[in-house]
Amino acid sequence: MQVKLKRKLTPSDLEDLFEEAARTLRRLPNPPGSGPKGYGSAWPDYVQDARHAYGYNEVRMRVTPSAADIAQMEACLDWLRLVSPEDAKIIWLRAEGHRWRYVCIQAGCVRQTAWRRWVAALATIAKRVNGGGGMFST
């Protein structure tokens, strides 16, 4: 996939793009039955209370992302392949809004090392995306 860039991306811009990609991924619809089946029955769920039988429960509004948002998310996910899997994990955990403590536990390093790897990975992606060549040339 090739994305046209209007200007050179900085690591700060990439941070915002990855956060937007994580929000877009959360907004994608996940219909019932799209995941693994596991244990269960073919019968519909039993309604325990009469007020829930007629749809009187809370309505949840869900905004689905546009095609441009999905294309940008896919580009961001492709950019994660430009760095090591460990660094990509740190970038994605931060994009999802996790605290540094959780990121450090998942990455298996101290906060300063995780932050250093996060900054270096964003700079590496910015350099490779902006530098032309490769699969993301402008």
Question: How many Å apart are CA 81 and CA 115, to the nearest integer?
Answer: 19
DSSP class of residue 82? G
* pTM (two decimals): 0.75
Find the mean pLDDT for residues 5-11: 83
Give me the residue spans of the domains in the chain. Answer: 1-27+63-132
**88 Cβ neighbours under 8 A, 6+ residues apart:** 80, 81, 121
**110 Cβ neighbours under 8 A, 6+ residues apart:** 104
Model pLDDT for residues 86-104, shown as the tens digit of each residue: 999 999 999 999 999 999 9
Q: Is the pLDDT of residue 19 over 80?
A: yes
Predicted confidence at residue 47, as pLDDT, reads: 65
